[in-house]
Amino acid sequence: MNYWLVKADPDSDYSIEDLERDGETIWDGVHSNPAILNIQKMKLGDLVYIYHSQKQKAIVGLAEVAEEPFENKADPRRSWAVKLKFVRTFTKTITLAAIKSDPEMQQFGLVRQSRLSVMPVPGEIQHKLTTLVG
C-alpha cells in the first residue's frame, strides 16, 4: 500500500467535511503533468491524506482510493481523476507550519514542491504523520 497527499481548497472547492458527508467522490480537476503522473500511480486501497490549502494550510483527514485512476474524458484539458472514499477526519490537524519546522520533514513534497496538488508520501514521512495525528 502507498500513501498520497491531495490538496483541496475548502472555501471554493471541496473539503474533508464534504467528503465525509458524501462518503466518496471523484477527485478531479488536476491538470499539471507531475500531479497527473502521481494520480496514475495510485492503486485501489492506497491511503490519501487530505490537505486543506489556502487559509487552513493543514492535513485534516484521510481517504482511501476506491477505484483505479482514470482519464477524465469530460475535461477538455488533459486530466486524470480518481475515486476517493472517506476514512476519517483528524481531531488533531497537522499544520504546514509544523511540517516546515520539523527537520525530519524537509524532504516532503509539501515542503519542497509546495504547488504540487497530488504527491506521494514516503514511508518515513507517513510514519511521522501517523505519530502526529495520534
- Looking at the DSSP bridge assignments, the partners of residue 118 are 6
* 27 pLDDT higher than 90: yes
Considering the domain delimited by 3-133, tell me its CATH architecture. Roll (3.10)
- pTM value is 0.94
Contact between residue 44 and residue 86 where contact means Cβ atoms under 8 Å apart: no
Closest CA to 120 of 133, 107, 131: 107
| CA dist., res. 50 & res. 27, Å (int) | 11
| CA dist., res. 88 & res. 100, Å (int) | 24
Cell of 57: 494550510
For the chain, the structural domain boundaries read 3-133
Q: What is the pLDDT of residue 10?
A: 80
Query: pLDDT tens across 40-91, in order?
Result: 999 999 999 999 998 899 999 999 999 999 999 999 999 999 999 999 999 9
* 134 pLDDT higher than 80: no
| CA dist., res. 66 & res. 62, Å (int) | 13
